[in-house]
Structure formats: structure tokens, C-alpha cells
Amino acid sequence: MKAIKGILMTCDPAVKQILLFFNEDHSFIIEDLDDYHVVIRADEERKVRSMLEAKLESNTYSLEG
Amino acid sequence: MAVDDTVPQVKKEHVLLPFLQTLNQTTLTSLYKRPSSCLSIFRLLSSLERQIILNLLWLESAITTSTLAAWVIREAKPLYDDALSTLSRLHVLPTGSGKLALNPTFKAAFRQAIAGGGSGGSFGVPAAEHKDDGRSGANTTVLDEYALERWETILHYMVSSGTDDRTRRPPEPSPGVRFLLKTSGLMQEVYGSLRISSVGFQFLLYSPHEQLWHLLLQYLHLADQRRMDLVDVLSFLFMLSTMELGREYSVQNLTKTQSAMLEDLRDYGLIWQRKQSSRRFSPTRLSTTLTSSSPPLPTKTGDSSGPQEGFIILETNYRIYAYTDNPLQTAVLNLFTSLKYRFPNLVVGSITRESVKKALMNGITADQIISYLFTHAHPNMRKNNPLLPVTVQDQIRLWELEKNRLKSREGYLYTDFASQADYELVLKYAKELDIVLWENAAKRCFFGTLEGHPIIKSFIERRSTG
């Protein structure tokens, strides 16, 4: 058997699709577990979070922006 | 999403009680020597606990546990047990011997508090009346103004430290107060200046009573470090809480520690003195309401617009109208609303996604925002049922959920097991240790926490060698 160090991300399916989309360019996913879980490389969490944040923001209509 | 039309009004345990329970029996017993302390603690207890104490107070001998337990219906047994264990941890009512009797020191002092007698001056020694020398004591108006000014200086200092507007700084509170704010974690030092922390942001949305006790609790934690006698500190606070507003008390009976406290308490606005060297002091409303349920700050009247409590109108279109001219309240509102217009007696703004997000980033939770709006709702809002528009409440909670769309836990993925039996064995072991975050039998892999990894590792090594 094998033990791989990583970070378990728990999210909704929509967010997971965005993560898969990012992965095409950056390749940080170790294992795609199911609709709600993926394991990513431990040192990539910050980057992934900020990319996701930017993506979600761009999809939101803002009164003030 | 379930929306309840009232914020749950569950009476929480007073914050001081857990602290008192950490003290040892000797400390508590010397605290119980003073009738004023006993009375104050009694006032902090829940009604069931008070009931138990009063039932036992005038008994000369102990009664068996079963006698008292006979009063309790079966459904209320957990509540009753809970009350007994609280009283036992406070060393008011020792349990365990099968008999129930109040701590004799507590009993004697509390009897004195109720029936009078004794001459300890534990409720404070009133200062002698002034001869007609033109110096009269402070009346309640002066005291209220003083307390309010002191207290708002502290809060305003905290709230404005979070903004970058350095041109309009409110006056700084004394070094003692700033030290307390820093050690309590409400503010933290960033580049040599104090800035409000996320705990501090949450603190601002508490009720004044909670805020006051939060700070005083911190003060108590510091007592040891500052070589102050904890019993003296506590009994002084309790003494203040039983004093009469608008009356002057003499400092001559105070211990050394308590005299030193005068300066700190003056900074917090708990007491008022004409001069630093004055031989007399007056408690303000902040201190006389410490253990009571009446509001610690005076509700404003006269020159100011509207009452202090209840000034916010929130509409279903997320607009917020705050009838206030108080810079502190405006600043607190500014934590989670985007303010649009400011009039002499009215501030208009709206709750937007950005403004709530800013608040969430500062560590404020959606529930805190909602409960702040709830407690400060304008009397006219009270006619609505539910009080706050459901759409706005839900949306604030949804915005909070949005922030947490991605949860992450570091750990190890265990995969490529040789056989199903192997997988099941390791998984069973890991489950017993409660370290499994995710599992999938079909894929024959599971994800365990970081902390659990060394244990799993040694378990597998033991098996492969054995």
C-alpha cells in the first residue's frame, strides 16, 4: 500500500468543476476522489484558494463594482 | 433554511462563574467571608441554583441528598444535577458525602447579607456628609456622563484602529487600558501601533454588560501577574456591584490592592473621583449594575436623538436607517454596512455583499451581525413579525456560507492496498482512532488526518514485520 501526503478539499460539485478546470493549466490535483472531494498537493492550497476566489468574484454581479 | 423569528433567549451561564470554579477552595472560602461577595455571586446564579441555596440557607443541620432530590421530577433531573455540580464546584454546596449543607462560611455571610448584622463594612463605608464647604458629590447625571464618556472612549479607540483614516483619531485611553486591550487579545500590535483583532471585532457587537465582564475577567487573569490579591480584587468588584448609585463612599477601609485598583477602575469608567488623591469615590452605573440585570449604561435622553437602545430600521431591500448621532454606533455599523448618507440624526446605508464580506473577513460571524441588528432594532421594527426581514437574514447567512465553499484538511491518502482484507483491517483500526476523514470501499482507499499518520504508519510496519 501507499500513503500520499496531501490536502483533502471538501467542496460542492460546482466548485470542484472549477478546480478541475484550473488543474488543466496548473496540475495540482493528486487524486480526484468523488463529486465532493479532491486531494491536492500540500503546498498549493494558497494558490488554489486565491484562484478560486478570483473566479467566484468574477462570476458575481456587484452593485458597487 | 430555518428562520426563527426570535433570537434564542437562552439564559447563558454568567461568564464569571467558570472563572470562579477554577479557583481553589481556600481562595473561595476567604471570598465568602464577605456578605457582599456572597450576595453578588448569588445574583449571578441561575434561578434553580438560587432556589437550592435558599432552601438550605436557614437549616442548621445537613439534610440527606434524597430529601432534596424528592422535589425533583424526573424530566428535570439533568437540570438539577447540573445545578448541584455548579454549586459544588463553587464550593458553596459540597456534595459527595451523601448529606447536603451549605459551606458554613458562605452560610454565615449570606445570612448576614440578607438579615443584616455584622460590622465588616463589606457593602462599602459611606463617606461622611460634606459640611457646607461648597464641594458636593457628583450627582447621577455627572456620573452617567462620565461612565459613558470613559467607556465609549475605549470602544471608539478600538473601532477606529481598524480603519486607515489616521487623520481623525479619537482620544487614546490610558496606558493601563491599552495594555489590558492588548493582553486580552482584543487588539494586537501591528507595526508599533495597536490594531483591533478579530476577537475585538466580535467584542464590539456584544452587549455592554458582556463587554464589561469580558474586560474585567481579563483584569482578573492579570491580577496574579501584577501581584494583586485575587480575593481583594474580586471582593472589591462585588462590593461595587452592591453599592448605591449617586452615593459617595470612603476609601479608608480599602486594602492596599483595592486602593491600587481605584486608578484602573477610574480609567474604565467604573468609579468616579473628584481628584486622584480624593479620600472618597462614587461608583457609576457601570459598576452598580455589574451583577444585576438592569442596563449598565444610561439610556440617553434630552439633547440626543432617540433612545440609545433601538435605533436601527432595516428594510427588505437591505437598506438600513440608523437614528443616531453617536460616532461610536456609526463606526460599529460601518463594520458591516456600506454607509451612504449622514445627517445630523440619521445615518443611511445598505447591507451589501461587499460590506458583509468585509465583516466576515474581520472575523465577525453572520449570527453576530444578525443578533446586533436584532438587539438594536428600532421600536417601530418591533411590530414586525419576524422582526428582521427574512430575506436579509437569509442572505447574510448565505454570504457566510459562500465564504466557506471550500474546506481543507491536511493529511494522508492511503491507497493501493494489496487486498480487500488488508484495506478493511487498516480502515477498521483507523476508524477506532477516529482519524478517517473520507473513505471509499470501491476504490479501496481512505484519507486520514495528519495527526493520525504516525500511528497508522507504525501499525502497518508492525503488521508487515510480524
Q: Out of B33-37, B161-165, B230-234, pick the least confident.
A: B161-165
**Chain B, nearest residue to A45 by Cα:** B408
Asked if residue B417 lies in contact with residue B428, where contact means CB atoms within 8 angstroms, the answer is no
Domain boundaries, chain B: 16-115, 140-288, 312-403, 411-465
Does position B3 have pLDDT exceeding 70, yes or no?
no
Chain A, nearest residue to B416 by Cα: A1
Return the percentage of chain B with pLDDT > 70, whole number: 89
Q: Count Cβ atoms within 10 A of the Cβ of residue B90 and give its class: 0-12 exposed, 13-18 middle, 19 or more buried.
A: buried
Of A4, A33, A64, the CB nearest to B412: A4
User: B412 to chain A nearest CA, in Å?
Assistant: 4
Nearest 10 degrees: CA dihedral of B101, B106, B109, B114?
A: -70
The predicted pLDDT at position B136 comes to 60
The three cell numbers of residue B150 are 470613559
B413 part of contact set with chain A, CB < 8 Å: yes
Residue contact B447–A15, C-beta within 8 A: no
Chain B interface, mutation test: which of A2, A7, A8, most B Cβ atoms within 10 Å? A8
A-B interface: how many C-beta pairs under 8 angstroms?
A: 81
Q: What is the mean pLDDT of chain B?
A: 83
Closest by CA position to B162, among listed B334, B355, B366 = B334
Q: Do A52 and B410 touch (CB under 8 A)?
A: no
| Cβ pair B63, B100 in contact under 8 A | yes
Nearest-CA distance A44 → chain B (Å): 12
Domain A7-58 has CATH 3.40.50.620: no
Q: What ipTM was estimated for this complex? A: 0.85
CA of A11 to nearest chain B CA: how many angstroms apart?
A: 5
More confident residue, B226 or B12: B226
Minimal Cα distance from A13: which residue of B? B405
Interface test with chain B among A9, A29, A33, A43, by most B beta carbons within 10 Å: A33
Please write the tens of the pLDDT for every residue from B70-122: 888 888 888 888 899 899 999 988 877 778 888 999 999 998 888 877 666 77
**Distance from B199 to chain A by nearest Cα, in Å?**
24
pTM of the full predicted structure?
Answer: 0.72
* B465/B447: higher pLDDT: B447
pLDDT at B1: 40
Query: How do residues A22-59 score in pLDDT, each as one tens digit?
Result: 999 888 898 888 889 999 998 888 888 888 888 888 88
What integer is the mean pLDDT of B390-400? 92
pLDDT confidence of residue B331:
86
Cα four-point dihedral sign B43, B268, B297, B284: positive
A59 reaches B (C-beta below 8 A): no
Of B415, B418, B437, Cβ closest to residue A8: B437
Option in B417, B437, B438 nearest A1 (CB): B417
Q: Which residue has the cell 480487500?
A: B420
> Phi/psi zone of residue B286: left (φ > 0), alpha (ψ -120 to 50 degrees), beta?
alpha
- CATH fold of the domain at B411-465: Alpha-Beta Plaits (3.30.70)
* Closest chain A CA to residue B413: A4
Cβ distance A30 to B456 less than 8 Å, yes or no, reads no
Residue in A closest to B420 by C-alpha? A1
Task: Find the helix packing angle between B453-465 and B420-432, rounded to 10°.
Answer: 140
Rounded to 10 degrees, the C-alpha dihedral B175/B180/B185/B189 comes to 10
